Amino acid sequence: SQQGEEDPQALSIQEGENATMNCSYKTSINNLQWYRQNSGRGLVHLILIRSNEREKHSGRLRVTLDTSKKSSSLLITASRAADTASYFCAISNFGNEKLTFGTGTRLTIIP
């Protein structure tokens, strides 16, 4: 398998707190992407970080990438109830287009 586990598998926090999710992988990558999935819906793209980048921000989201450790983290600051969803990382390797997804973290924000 090219993809490791994401941790935690489930995370419940109070609204306003920060949420951190981690992703590990096993191969060299071209880029790593984070997606959100609300229950019964499709995947919504959040951030793409390339293998030569170490950190990216988008609004309340911050993604880091450590290629030496083959790991990435997604930080959501000042969480809101609407952030409740499953979050997946997905890797893209050089030479092909497919995404390989992790098992996801189910995030619950408690109002």
Partner 1 sequence: EPEVTQTPSHQVTQMGQEVILRCVPISNHLYFYWYRQILGQKVEFLVSFYNNEISEKSEIFDDQFSVERPDGSNFTLKIRSTKLEDSAMYFCASTEESNQPQHFGDGTRLSIL
Per CB under 8 A, residues contacting partner 1 are 3, 30-31, 33, 35, 41-45, 48, 88, 90, 92, 96-104
User: Please, what is the minimum distance in Å from the beta carbon of residue 18 to partner 1?
Assistant: 24
User: Please, what is the minimum distance in Å from the beta carbon of residue 57 to partner 1?
Assistant: 16
Burial classification of residue 35, based on how many CB atoms lie within 10 Å of its CB (0-12 exposed, 13-18 middle, 19 or more buried): buried
In sequence order, the β-bridge partners of residue 8 are none
User: Please, what is the minimum distance in Å from the beta carbon of residue 20 to partner 1?
Assistant: 20
Closest to partner 1 by CB, 14 or 52: 52
Burial classification of residue 105, based on how many CB atoms lie within 10 Å of its CB (0-12 exposed, 13-18 middle, 19 or more buried): buried
User: Please, what is the minimum distance in Å from the beta carbon of residue 12 to partner 1?
Assistant: 19
**CA distance linking residue 66 with residue 74, whole number of Å:** 12
Q: Are 104 and 21 in contact (CB under 8 A)?
A: no
**CA distance linking residue 3 with residue 50, whole number of Å:** 17
Closest to partner 1 by CB, 20 or 103: 103
Closest to partner 1 by CB, 14 or 39: 39
Closest to partner 1 by CB, 3 or 72: 3
